[in-house]
Amino acid sequence: MPRSDLRLLDRLRQSPRLAELAAFPFDFDLRRADHGEDVRLASGAPLEGIAGDDTGGTYFRCGDGGVLYADSEGHAGLIAESLADALELVTGLPGWRDHLHLPPETAEEELSAAAIEAEDSIRASYAPYLEANRDELLTALGLTLRPPAELFTRMHRALLRTEPRTVALRRGQRLPAAGPAPQWTLSPIFLGS
């Protein structure tokens, strides 16, 4: 993991306020880093749970610096090239999982409208101070608020890197003989024989 990502993770772990902001309203909760079952990369490269969300999903840091997200339904995929990118994704595109169904060629206007709708829903439901929370967290971590289209493009670029060597496996599972082609959604965690 890049040194700057290690500093970000240390900063979150050492600051209760920043950890609290990441957890709520951005659903990147350091206290939920345990996935509940052993998960490993097919390549054997290092994989460390660093945070979780309120749906039972887990964010993992990969040995190459990428961040893999594994949901509680058995799907996983790289969502960011770095921890900084992952934090910009979860803060700049809250509810990012709801955008996975959109094709990569989705127009910027449609992406912006979807992001605004998601944020309006979050604000109305449980986080009326979303912007203030985001500004405080991003400023404290030295990160930047990116446009939704840029975050969407980054996420899909990372998802394309999800291939057999970067696929998460449960303990005792193996890759099938022919791995899947990269997809625009989270790939299933492979069931081995």
Residue 126 CA to residue 55 CA, distance in Å, equals 16
Residue 84 CA to residue 103 CA, distance in Å, equals 24
What was the pLDDT predicted at 102?
86
Residues 110-128: tens digit of each pLDDT? 999 999 999 999 999 999 9
What was the pLDDT predicted at 178?
34
Residue 57 CA to residue 131 CA, distance in Å, equals 24
Q: Peptide bond preceding 103: is omega within 30 degrees of 0, i.e. cis?
A: no
What residue type is assigned to position 135 of the chain? D
Residue 157 CA to residue 26 CA, distance in Å, equals 22
**Which contacts (CB < 8 Å, 24+ apart) does range 100-105 have?**
100/184, 100/185, 100/186, 101/185, 102/152, 103/184, 104/153, 104/156, 104/184
| Alpha-carbon Rg for the chain in angstroms | 16
Residues 54-102: tens digit of each pLDDT? 999 999 998 888 999 988 887 888 899 999 999 999 999 998 998 888 8
Q: How far is CA 88 from CA 56, 93, 183, in A?
A: 21, 8, 22
* Length reported for the chain: 193
pLDDT level of residue 181 (50, 70, 90 thresholds): very low
The rounded percent of the chain whose pLDDT value lies above 70 is 82
Residues 157-167: tens digit of each pLDDT? 888 887 654 45
- When mean pLDDT is compared across 30-34, 85-89, 173-177, the lowest value belongs to 173-177
What was the pLDDT predicted at 148?
93
Residue 159 CA to residue 182 CA, distance in Å, equals 7
